[in-house]
A and B are shown apart, each in its own frame.
Chain A
Amino acid sequence: MSPKLQIRVTVNGQEHDGLVEPRRLLSDFLREDLGLTGTHVGCEHGVCGACTVLLDGQSVRSCLLFAVQANGHTVMTVEGLAASDGSLHPIQAAFWQEHGLQCGFCTPGFLMTTYELLQANRSPSDEDIRAAISANLCRCTGYQNIVRSVRAAAEQMSTAAVAPVANARQ
């Protein structure tokens, strides 16, 4: 066994120290070492997208990254979406309202992929949405409700974003 390495990773705004074998995947570090089991592990070779997290703000497969490579970097997982009082992020609320999930296994990956999409584009076309989520596999929904959920989240978030301006004008 290779000697363990000391790492420090900021996850959802909180610094975490870890002592990991070099072969420790980031997905396993999050789940096993930090107890953040919201990130799911599906195929473990980069195909299914269930383990998608944001590394320095960009979506990545956490099963294709070693924890040592995240040393000094910032990670956002699905646990970082909801507010501290537990209220759902608009994307999560939209997936709930529009039945964007059934078994829920793939959902963390879809939520993080959607989060990245909507950070860059608040009014995505259905084509944009489908292109973005093509990176994630779902075996339950047939995707229709997921596309609907992303659309609803986009509408909700852009309304929320312009609301203060509208209020100011009144």
Chain B
Amino acid sequence: MKPPSFEYVAPHSLDEAIASLAEYGDTAKVLAGGQSLVPLLNMRLAGPDVLIDVNNVRELGGLSTWNGGISIGALVRQSALEHADIARQRAPLLVEATALVGHPAIRHRGTVGGSLAHADPAAELPAAMLALEAQLVVRGARAQRSMSADEFFLGNLTTALGPDELLTEIRVPGVPARTGSAFLEMSRRVGDFAVCGVAALVSLNDSGRVDRVRVALCGVGSGPTRARQVEQALKGELPSGPALEQAAQRVRDEIDPASDVHGSAAYRSKLAVTMTRRAIELAAQRAGAS
């Protein structure tokens, strides 16, 4: 249970970090919070030649307002996001999701960007970012580009990040008035990965019907999963009663749950429906639904 030998590089600026990535490419791994990478190293499931430790790159830290929402530096610790007033005010969904990541000792080190770049299909933050339609800013040696969370997550532990690219910033847009959110998850023990997790964001119109809804799930597919059919079914409807129940049922067609020791695929499907309904209900309540 000791990590294999590696070369250690600790850049002090973003330019240095990008240069290191360009130099070592896919023989290197980026070390941010290390809460997923170091277990993989200890268990020797990963063995990169080089670790590029970005913990000293100050440009990657910091939370600020952005376009009615917030901008999150990739290196912002999960515990910092969880306790930031700016996040509570502008993206409460992220606060709720982050509080479900591991334990305080994990969140003290774990970073927002690290969780996204690692892209564990059961992780909370990727699903939350999908629901929030976050923009992920990525820098490589030649260019900076920005992509939607939808484009970023490609599947199990797989993202659109190139080997010489670094996730630098996450931009979470603001939401309209009368919007509520909820992140619910079911796990066997506190702090475990979700057997099933649901992020819901509901905006209501003046008559209390659903104007806009976003739903994304974790733990029930090869990556975080956006439930577009649920969203479409609910638009213009009341977020309650049969309309909600019927919309929630449609999540079954969007997910691809696996069977494992924590639950069968059939159980996960059932759970996904129930939790989708509950998450939308709670988000709607928080948006001020009667």
Contact = CB atoms under 8 A, between A and B. Distances in A.
Interface residues of A, number: 30
Interface in A52-68: 52, 55, 58-61, 63-66, 68
B2 A64 contact: no
A131 interface: yes
Contacts of B106: 46, 61, 135
A55 B108 CA distance: 9
B105 A61 contact: yes
A60 B106 CA distance: 7
A64 B51 contact: no
Contact of B8 (A2, A25, A58): A2
A2 B7 contact: yes
A68 B9 CA distance: 11
A60 B105 contact: yes
Contacts of B108: 55, 58-60
A6 B7 CA distance: 15
A132 interface: yes
A2 B6 contact: yes
Contacts of A68: 8, 10, 53
A45 to B, nearest CB: 4
Contacts of A65: 34, 38, 109
A64 B104 contact: no
Contacts of A55: 108
Main secondary structure of the interface of A (DSSP, over half): mixed
B8 A22 contact: yes
B42 interface: yes
Contacts, number: 86
Contacts of B34: 64-66, 69
A60 B38 CA distance: 13
Given A45-B43, A135-B191, A1 B109 contact: no
A1 B5 contact: yes
A113 interface: yes
Given A45-B42, A46-B35, A59 B104 contact: yes
Nearest to A120: B104
Contacts of B10: 68
A23 interface: yes
Contact of A23 (B5, B103, B190): B5
A111 to B, nearest CB: 13
Contacts of B53: 66, 68-69
B4 interface: yes
B188 interface: no
Contacts of B2: 23, 25, 28, 44
Nearest to A109: B105
B261 interface: no
Given A132-B104, A135-B103, A64 B35 contact: yes
Interface string B258-280: 00000000000000000000000
Given A23-B6, A61-B105, A65-B34, 11 more contacts: A1-B5, A5-B8, A22-B8, A23-B3, A45-B42, A58-B79, A59-B104, A61-B109, A65-B38, A134-B190, A135-B191
